[in-house]
Amino acid sequence: MATRTGAKGIRITDVAAAAGVAPITVSRVFNAPDTVAPETLARVRRAVAELGYVPNRLAGGLSSAKSRLIAAIVPTLAHSLFSETIQVFSDTMSRAGYQVLLGLSGYGDTDQNEHEGPLLDAMLSRRPEGVLLTGVAHTATLRERLRKLAIPIVETWDMSDDPIDMLVGFSHYRIGVAVAERFLARGARRPALVSANDQRALARRRGFVETLAQRGIADVAEMLMPPPSSVALGKEGLRRIIEARAGVDAIFCSSDLLALGVVAEARRLAIDIPGRIAVCGFGALEFTADTIPALTTVRVDGRRIGATAARCLIDRLDGATERTCVDVGFELVERETL
């Protein structure tokens, strides 16, 4: 087996000798730590730290055609929605001996995110062994390129009848349906919408608006704005909604931040929540249980998405052939604003 030179000329054989193990065991500590006994793992890592050894990942990739890298693209880490998913995903991949190369695509105001293609090109140049993507909306050209790659790909945070490869997510459209039905059951007859206009938020909007139309409510007051969402935009959204439409009695917000803005502005304007206007957000951010009044929201299990996506990639890299599609569902968490 070829040896690798690390810091100050230290080689993998030097680490093996210091730890009292074979060089292949040192290699497994870096590439498949879950296959190494805990005591041996600790001994090798101690020798690595004492010697200052740094593995040459590039040389290892060239010699074995394995980079041990997984490319992951998410819109942002500013919201815990995505940070929870990527943290669990990265931890799970790390335990299996893979490192996550993370890219932030930002939000696009159309279905075809202009940043995703160039970002993915840069990441693919590092020869990752798998790819995690957020959402299912990609340009036709990018979808075709991804389908031709000989590596596993898992899309997350959405549902599709035509995934590129594997899929772990939920239906944004059905969330919109569920919120509309709950508003109607509460007695709302003039519901409104304050929403970002990114692809996933628009899918929730479509489910919301179409469900209301089927029940005879065809004219829904709404404010759409480019992401990212904020409390300030939520405040503005409520002001514009009540200026445009008298008697609004329920507002569905595409994020908890927007919903918090709506509630705060309603308090300033002496509008009773939920007596006059019911409010529902999306995301179940941690603060939503502690707002006054506590915010009704839609919860999605981001940790489960991350863990399941990692498991799909690991299983495929270990030789599984099935194209997994997992719907993690969602939960409408009713609190004091509904």
CATH classification at residue 196: 3.40.50.2300
Pair 255, 284 in one domain:
yes
Pair 44, 89 in one domain:
no
What is the model's pLDDT at position 279? 98
Question: In angstroms, what is the C-alpha Rg of the chain?
Answer: 24
Pair 35, 135 in one domain:
no
Q: Which of 138, 280, 302 is nearest to 207 (CA)?
A: 280
Burial class of residue 286, CB neighbours in 10 A (0-12, 13-18, 19+): exposed
Please indicate, yes or no, if residue 2 is contained in any of the structural domains: no
d(CA 15, CA 26): 7
SS3 content of the chain, % helix, strand, coil (to 5): 45, 15, 35
Q: How far is CA 146 from CA 143, 327, 333, in A?
A: 5, 22, 37
Pair 285, 206 in one domain:
yes
pLDDT along the chain (338 residues), means of 10: 51 90 88 86 88 64 68 82 91 94 72 66 84 88 82 94 94 98 96 93 96 95 89 96 93 97 96 97 92 96 96 93 91 96
Q: How many CB atoms lie within 10 A of CB 222?
A: 20
Pair 145, 218 in one domain:
no
Pair 102, 58 in one domain:
no
Q: CB of 196 within 8 A of CB of 168? A: no
List of E strands, the chain: 69-74, 99-104, 130-134, 153-156, 166-169, 191-196, 221-225, 250-253, 278-280, 297-299, 325-327, 331-333
Range of the domain at 193: 172-299
What is the model's pLDDT at position 192? 97
Q: Which two tokens stand for residue 199?
A: 């692809």
Task: State which amino acid sits at residue 144.
Answer: E
Q: Which of 304, 318, 330, 316 is nearest to 165 (CA)?
A: 316
What is the count of structural domains for the chain?
Answer: 3
Give the three-state DSSP class for 330. Answer: coil
Pair 200, 284 in one domain:
yes
Please indicate, yes or no, if residue 316 is contained in any of the structural domains: yes
What is the model's pLDDT at position 65? 56
Please indicate, yes or no, if residue 335 is contained in any of the structural domains: no
Pair 259, 291 in one domain:
yes
Query: What number of residues does the chain have?
Result: 338
Beta bridge partners of 5: 11
Pair 260, 207 in one domain:
yes
Report the helix count and the strand count for the chain, using DSSP H and E: 12, 12
Q: CB of 316 within 8 A of CB of 99? A: no
Task: Print burial letters for 313-335: b (CB count within 10 Å at least 16), e (below 16).
Answer: bbebbeeeeeebbbebebebbeb
Q: CB of 237 within 8 A of CB of 208? A: no
